Amino acid sequence: MKIGFFGTPVLALECLKELNKRHDVLFAVTQEDKPSGRRQRVLFPPVKEFSLESSIPVYQPAKLRDGDFISELKKYDADIYVVVAYGKLIPPEVYNLPPLKTINLHPSLLPKYRGAAPVQWAIINGEKETGITVQLINDRLDAGDIVVQDRILLAESITAGDLNRIVSETGPAILDRAIGILASGKAGLTVQDEARATHCGKIDRETARIDWRLPAGRIHDLVRGLNPKPGAWTLFREKVVKIWMTGLPINLELDLEPGMALRVDKKRLVAGTGDGIIEILELQPETKSTMDSLSFINGYRIGPGEAFSSK
């Protein structure tokens, strides 16, 4: 199958690698290079790096509706376009070009969690399952007909990083199935139920702030959903601390105010919440490296009544 690929981050890269083994990837479209870090060094998107190494032509248009860009795509005569985390909406002038149209891999059980951060929000909201959907692109965000859909069970300890790895590992095979279904001409597409549609926005700094008045389970889910990026955060001694890993102890009965920190069993760090106790396992003070709870306890010598703050 002749494929045109649209994608940008590591998730897209893993799918591109596998598709390139099984099909003829004619070109890759990715977002523009961006400066990164204090020195503003220009970094290539992961998809671009692999494509250049694999002699796959790369395009980085500022606007997908650009006439010259569309004319260039037409020259390839691709059978289908595949989109994985490209980062921009694909216009009809582009997604209607190939005879089998354009499919998109979305890491949720559409129509649930349409939008920018479905992996993170599924975990933040404490979902017990999520999934991967391959849909045909149409003129509305994540609203196209479903070609294939697989479910993923979510353990109480799974992080967004863990889930992204699962999607990266299983996504290529699901895309391959979808391509085969469409190529067969016997696709039984499923129209999305608009009454069940939900939307999720981008993760901003305020989303990542820990509100210690919430129940322990909600805070635990927030921490998992924001690991490894951007990290749930709080304040301790008026400095930002990122919380990377937490647990929900079942053998502790303590009466702590929300945010109040306490050392227990000499080496464990717990905090009060609006409902229950949460154990802090891994955290990162401002300007410091990530550390376990014992290192934090020993380094900061937490005094009576000290607390993490939401303000």
Number of domains observed in the structure of the chain: 3
Q: How confident is the model at residue 37 (pLDDT cuts 50, 70, 90)?
A: low
pLDDT confidence of residue 303: 86
Q: The whole model's pTM is what?
A: 0.94
pLDDT computed for residue 102 by the predictor: 98
Same domain, 112 and 63: no
**pLDDT band of 251, cuts 50, 70, 90:** confident
Domain encompassing residue 93:
1-99
Amino acid 166: pLDDT: 97
**SS in 3 state form for the chain?**
CEEEEEECCHHHHHHHHHHHHHCEEEEEECCCCEEECCCCEEECCHHHHHHHHCCCCEECCCCCCCHHHHHHHHCCCCCEEEEECCCCCCCHHHHCCCCCCEEEEECCCCCCCEECCHHHHHHHCCCCEEEEEEEECCCCCCCCCEEEEEEEECCCCCCHHHHHHHHHHHHHHHHHHHHHHHHHCCCCCECCCHHHCCEECCCCHHHHECCCCCEHHHHHHHHHHCCCCCCEEEEECCEEEEEEEEECCCCCCCCCCECEEEEECCCEEEEECCECEEEEEEEEECCCCCEEHHHHHHHHCCCCCCECECC
Q: How much of the chain exceeds pLDDT 90, in percent?
A: 90
Mark whether 198 and 211 lie in a shared domain.
no
Model confidence at 18, pLDDT cuts 50, 70, 90, reads: very high
* Summary mean pLDDT of the chain: 95
The CATH number for 75's domain is 3.40.50.170
Q: Is 24 in the same domain as 67?
A: yes
Do the domain assignments include residue 287? Answer: yes
